Amino acid sequence: MIGGKLIQYQYDLKWYTFRISFTYEDWKKTKKINVEFLNKILGSIGRTEEEILAEIHRLPLDEYAADFIRRVQEAGGEFYILSAGTTYYINRLLAHRGIEGVTVISMNGVYKDGGIEVTPDKTSPYFSEIFGINKAKVIVELKKEFETVFFAGDSEPDLGAAKEANVAFAKKDLKELLTNEQEEFVPFKNFREIEKYLMDRGWLV
C-alpha cells in the first residue's frame, strides 16, 4: 500500500536488434510494424543463441531501473512491463540485472535459425494485429483491480495506454502526441524523475 492506494506501474523496454539498423523512425515512415515485420527483423540477426544472449545482457537499461522497481515493490506497489517486443530478451535481461517480481506482458519468442521468432498469442484479450499486444486494453483491465495505475512511455504505440492510465509519464514522441490530443501527462527523462514525482506527492516515502 502506498498512500492508501495500490499502485501499478508499466514501463516499456525498447527492443533492440543487435546492430540491425531498424529504429522507431522506420516505423513512422512505413507504419508497417506488425508481427510479420518483427519476425523479419529479429529473424535476420544471424547469430548463435549464445551470441544473442551475450548481446541481450548488454542491452541499455535505465541505470536506476532496478533500484526504482525495488522501491516500488517495497512500498507495496506492483511493476509491469508492457512491450510489443518479446519475453525472450526481456525476461533474460531482467534476470541478468537481478530484477525480480515484475510481470511482463509481451509476446513469446524462441531462438530459431540464427534469430528470434516472435509468437504472439492470438487468443489473448490483449492481442493486437499491429503491435502484438494492445497496451490500452491492459491498462483498462488493471484499473479494475488497482485503484491507481501509472504508465510511462515514449512512442506512438504507448498513446492509448497513456490515455487510459490514471497518471501518464511521457517522453520523446509520446509527449507531442499527448499534447496534440490535449491529454494531461507528466514529462520525464528517467526513473529518478518519476521517483521524485511520486515522493513529492506521497506515493513513495
Q: Give the strand pairing for 7-11 and 148-153.
A: parallel
* Average pLDDT over every residue of 81-89: 92
Cβ-contact 186, 167 below 8 angstroms: yes
Percent of the chain with pLDDT over 70: 84
Would you say residue 124 has pLDDT above 90?
Answer: yes
Q: What is the pLDDT of residue 36?
A: 80
Say how many CA atoms lie within 13 Å of 161 toward its Cβ.
Answer: 33
- Terminal-residue alpha carbon distance, the chain: 12
* More confident call, 62 vs 3: 62
- For the chain, how big is the Rg over CA atoms in Å? 17
For residue 153, what is its C-alpha cell?
512511455
Closest to 181 in 3D by CA, of 200, 203, 164:
164
Average pLDDT, the chain: 86
E strand segments, 59-195: 78-86, 103-112, 115-119, 127-128, 132-133, 148-153, 167-170, 186-187
Q: Band of the pLDDT at 6, cuts 50, 70, 90?
A: very low
Cβ-contact 157, 17 below 8 angstroms: no
CATH number of 7-200: 3.40.50.1000
* Euclidean distance between CA atoms 149 and 164, whole angstroms: 9
* Average pLDDT over every residue of 79-100: 94
* Average pLDDT over every residue of 42-46: 89
Q: Band of the pLDDT at 3, cuts 50, 70, 90?
A: very low
Would you say residue 8 has pLDDT above 50?
Answer: no
For residue 58, what is its C-alpha cell?
548488454
Q: What is the pLDDT of residue 44?
A: 87
Q: What is the pLDDT of residue 31?
A: 53
φ and ψ at residue 105, rounded to 5 degrees: -110, 105
